Amino acid sequence: MKIAMIGTGYVGLVSGVCFSDFGHDVTCVDKDLDKIAMLERGEVPIFEPGLDRLMAKNVDIGHLSFTNDLAQAIDGVDAVFIAVGTPTRRGDGHADLSYVMAAAEEIARAAKDYMVIVTKSTVPVGTNRQVKEVVQNANPDLDFDVASNPEFLREGAAIDDFMKPDRVVVGVETDRAADVMAEIYRPLYLRDFPIISTDLESAEMIKYAANAFLATKITFINEIAALCERTGADVKKVAQGMGLDGRIGNKFLHAGPGYGGSCFPKDTNALARIGQDHSVPMLITETVIEVNDKVKRRMIDKLLDLCDGSFNGKTVAVLGVTFKPNTDDMRDAPSLTIVPALVGGGARVQVADPQGRHEGEKLLPGVTWCDDAYDAAGGADLLVILTEWNEFRALDLGRIAEIMSVPRMADLRNVYTVADAKQAGFAAYESIGRSGYSAKDDL
């Protein structure tokens, strides 16, 4: 099959590379000339484990190419995928569909023969019908179908998610479009991965419902964590006991400083707005959004307590600023709330992150970037673990405590335990949803 992928952001690039690895002929399109030049040099503009090798392999065998010429890219294609951004629109919380509609109109004006126009971007219910109208208005004589094919890729594990998906969701209106999409995903069908065919609206809704539910699980366990801290319960044990119930499952029951990233914040906001527009308020989702914001602010209070009520004049080491490990994505990361509060409170902030510096230098002014955890911890009054990178899971805590000015730790990902901190010589240790420790308690 011949495919064009419009947009070389996270979703578009990963999808395009993986489709090419299926054996399809894929051309990835982007208006950013610098990004296209980078890709043509074999450089990947995002960090995703294994993506650089898979991309190079398929470029070498001729299955994958890059261009800024949309008309050339869509000439003779079976399907063109729209994978552009749908950020939260300023002012009202809706998904901004301007990039999607602009891409649809440009496709329509350049298209000559039948194709399936597939929306892979996360879009509100009804968007694909709007895409259809835009295309028809721009090119009334074009023979085409529209399809909805939402992505379910976890950053840091996206290639595996694409190649071994829990499910593939395809929303179509015609048998012809269904046949094209079936051929595109034939390698997965032959390996018995579930491929769900739905109407357009159901496909669009599945994506939002899934992300809102996962965000709800995260937020629920974070609320339970706050209660555990007041009652003496251990949230890790609570989550384990909950997760062993097959109706609940253990995934996304990890207490932390709140969810972030490219999907959950904007998709929960968009779903809340969709509900309001249709007079069906999404009360649970609206509460999830509110509670998640409060969780991030609660982390600041926790750090203040460890710093004796003031950040002014303190040196704080922050380990990890990306919203999760194995990605360089910082969109809506908890660090974007917590680190500015530290800097604004007068703290000297020393940051280490294996992949976060490129984005972080633009988003977190006023911090000092360090080579590793030990460099960041030197002379610090407080160590904060914000992202659970593997590099931070096996630290020499004794060495860390020795090089700190005051050995105190806020473990906001529950990587370590009170016993670990005491053995290493930390004067204070706090985590999420578990009892903390302070040397003052022993006096």
Q: Which of 192-201, 259-268, 364-373, 375-384 has the lowest mean pLDDT?
A: 259-268
**Tens digit of pLDDT for each residue in 23-57?**
999 999 999 999 999 999 999 999 999 999 999 99
* Nearest CA-CA partner of 269 in 359, 218, 208: 208
The H or E element that residue 407 is part of is: none
Q: pLDDT (tens digit, 9 = 90+) per residue, 290-328? A: 999 999 999 999 999 999 999 999 999 999 999 999 999
CATH 1.10.3720.10 fits 199-443, yes or no: no
Average pLDDT taken over every residue of the chain: 95
pLDDT of 443 above 70:
no
Query: Does the annotation list 260 as a binding residue?
Result: yes
Known binder of ligand: residue 186? no
Tens of pLDDT, residues 251-266: 999 999 999 988 899 9
Residue 442, pLDDT above cutoff 60: no
Say which DSSP state 259 is in.
-
241 is in an annotated binding site: no
Q: What would the pLDDT profile of 380-427 be if each residue is shown by its tens digit?
A: 999 999 999 999 999 999 999 999 999 999 999 999 999 999 999 999
**Is a pLDDT exceeding 90 seen at residue 437?**
no
Residues in the chain: 443
Looking at residues 377-382, what average pLDDT do you find? Answer: 97
Residue 170 has pLDDT above 70, yes or no: yes
Asked if residue 109 belongs to a known ligand binding site, the reply is no
Domain ranges across the chain: 2-198, 199-443
**pLDDT above 70 for 441:** no
Tell me whether residue 252 is annotated as binding.
Answer: yes
CATH-assigned architecture of domain 2-198: 3-Layer(aba) Sandwich (3.40)
Dist CA 185 CA 204 (whole Å): 18
87 and 96 Cβ atoms separated by less than 8 Å: yes
Query: Is there a contact between 341 and 304 (Cβ–Cβ < 8 Å)?
Result: no
What is the rounded CA–CA span in Å between residue 148 and residue 116?
10
Token pair listed for 50: 């294994």
What pLDDT does 87 receive? 87
Q: Are strands 144-148 and 115-119 parallel, antiparallel or unpaired?
A: parallel
263 is catalytic: yes
Average pLDDT over residues 5-26: 97
pLDDT tens-digit readout, 77-114: 999 999 999 988 877 778 899 999 999 999 999 999 99
> Same fold for the domain at 2-198 and the one at 199-443?
yes
Residue 93, SS3?
A: coil
Catalytic residue from among 28, 263, 307, 370: 263
| Per-residue pLDDT, 89 | 83
297 is in an annotated binding site: no
> Is there a binding annotation on residue 255?
yes
* Whole-angstrom distance, CA of residue 88 vs CA of residue 380: 37
